[in-house]
Chain A
Amino acid sequence: MHRASRSKRSIFQLSISLGKGLIVMWSRLWSFRISYLFIAPFLICFALFIVIPIVAAVGLSFTYYNGIEPPRFIGWSNFQYLIAQDLLFLKYALPNTFKFAIIVGPGGYAAAFLLAWLISKLRGSFRKWVALAMYTPSLTVGIAMTIIWLPLLSGDRIGYLNSFLLKIGFIDIPKLWVTSPDLLMNSMIVVTLWSSMGVGFLAMLAGILNVDTTLYEAGKIDGIKNNLQELWFITIPSMKPQMLFGAVMAIVTTFKTGAIGVELSGQNPTPEYAGHLIVNHINDYGFIRFEMGYAATISVFLLILMYFANKLSWGLFGTKEE
């Protein structure tokens, strides 16, 4: 009797304190209502078009879904098919993506950094125009790219590159830059590298320009002899945040340039799947074969790949002390 009333009392007290806690929390949330109001528009769009699609992709990846019938749960079999049986994926999409990503990602990143560094050595308004020249290619978005590169890389002798190489005697028959399976990948890499000096490049340039000049003077006193030592011991450590931002942006652009092969070769799928990337594979299954569940599985795979690529760059450039 006594015990029961005690436990009742403690439950009562507990619920009171819980209620109080809720009220405190609510009033805390309420006191920041303006903050929430401010961020609401972004968060709603963000949730609708980025977070929910990612969650939905994960959900759909476990189903069979053709866009007409409701999704049917089939467990891990999409993933099993992807890593064990999908020959197109294993033989073309995956190796192509790796090759493409490894050259364009770190390669473009290193090129961006070197260019930014060289540009920072230039003086005055000249620097501005060189930086502009480097950044401009990344402005030629998507489709416009084909207009520029197709005539340049055209497979007959009218193509500018072929005609030039023929004239200087470097080759004797015109090369099929974009339609031959051997050369398509290289053309894709060159074109993507050309247009990859984007936001990350600008960030790195800004980072280099903003390094405290007194550091260089101090470095000189401490015995730094040449430009390379200066670069290694002072510039890179003081612009780590921009380096990281540049790396993240490089990874994002690398994985999103999937359409370039299709645009260059004018064929989908590309000749003998030479330029078949994971993004093409997703589009192939999602919008041509309407196997949306399976396409979602491939998307999830790509997301995981991007996540680990980013983890790697955080490991390399992240500031650990903070």
Chain B
Amino acid sequence: MLVLSVVMILPIIYIFNHAFKPYHELFIYPPKFFVQEPNIQNFVELFWVTSNSIVPVSRYLFNSLFISAASVIGVTAVSALCAYPLSKHPFPGRKFIFAVILLMLMFTPEVIQIPRYLVVSQLGIMNTYLGHLLPVLALPVGVFLLKQFVDQIPDSLLEASRIDGANEFIVFFRIIIPMCMPAIATVAILSFQNSWGNVETSMLFMQDDEMKNFPFFLSTLTNNLANNVARQGAAAVAALIMLVPNLVFFIILQGKVISTMAHSGIK
């Protein structure tokens, strides 16, 4: 068990080591797994050398941070808003809507890239931040997890607050949101992962380089990486930057994720 988890995590340890290796260590033979003289030369290269290019790396990083933050806020808000009535209001059509969401849970948007591309171009949001944000806003998994979680909240609690004169918005913000914090944290992680590593929107919907995000920049660094010496160090650092926020988020919120997943059954 322990051995297996070490094997699983080896490449991750490798990525940390790789980022701090000076150039002569990146290409020595026999290759060393662990860094011997750690230095930050690669970080310097990534930020300083590439700042001379047309679009500096900080711009890509800013785009990525901005889009991810916006999408985390957007996705959690939109999903929570949708999950609450789906779970607690007997409005006409709710069964149908939930059935459609369940059905779409089974499909991944990646397979319908072409019509999506057409929709985005028809909406005229190519080359804007909206073009990054809107396509990732509807996350069926998010609504699904939240709905299952809201199902656990007793109806009597909502009844009581309604009798006390709370309207739907107050019920939503004062009761549903606080009680769903674990699930909301989970959805936040999922949506962050989703948009932080998303190359698709940059590749398809953005024509201007300064609108593209960090993973896209990374993919330009790694083109033909296998037989390319230049920029290996910078790419290693960039990969580290891609990984760390995800990891930190997950470590902080791990317990909440597990408690959400306990209710994640499809019934």
Where the two chains meet, the residues of A that have a C-beta atom closer than 8 Å to any C-beta of B are: 25, 28-29, 32, 34-36, 38-39, 41-43, 45-46, 48-54, 56-57, 60, 115, 118-119, 122, 128, 130-137, 139-144, 146-152, 154-155, 157-160, 163, 167, 178-179, 194, 197, 199, 202-203, 205-207, 209-210, 240-242, 244-245, 248-249, 251-253, 255-256, 258, 263, 266, 279, 282-283, 286-287, 292, 295-296, 299, 302-303, 306-307, 310, 318-319, 322
A158 to chain B: which residues have CB within 8 Å? 27, 29, 31
A50 to chain B: which residues have CB within 8 Å? 104, 107, 109, 112, 138, 140
Separation of A203 and B264 alpha carbons in the complex (Å): 7
A322 touches B12 (CB 8 A): no
On whether A302 and B119 interact (CB within 8 A), knowing A46-B140, A136-B247, the answer reads: no
A307 to chain B: which residues have CB within 8 Å? 106-107
A42 touches B110 (CB 8 A): no
Closest to B225 in A: A150
Q: Which of A142, A178, A249 contacts B197 (CB 8 A)?
A: A142
B259 within 8 Å of A (CB atoms): yes
Which label, helix, strand, loop or mixed, suits the secondary structure of the B interface?
helix
- Provide 25 A-B residue pairs closer than 8 Å at the C-beta atoms, listed in order of the A residue: A38-B81, A49-B109, A49-B119, A49-B138, A50-B104, A50-B138, A51-B104, A57-B114, A57-B115, A60-B115, A139-B247, A141-B197, A141-B215, A142-B199, A144-B197, A144-B239, A150-B226, A158-B27, A197-B8, A199-B190, A206-B258, A249-B141, A279-B110, A282-B114, A296-B115
A295 touches B92 (CB 8 A): no
A-B contact count (CB 8 A): 290
Rounded to whole Å, the gap between the CB of B59 and the closest CB of chain A is 18
Closest to B217 in A: A143
A42 touches B236 (CB 8 A): no
A38 touches B82 (CB 8 A): yes
A151 to chain B: which residues have CB within 8 Å? 18, 31
Count class of interface residues, chain B: 35 or more
- In the A-B complex, the 4 residue pairs with the closest CB atoms: A241-B265, A141-B197, A42-B82, A206-B261
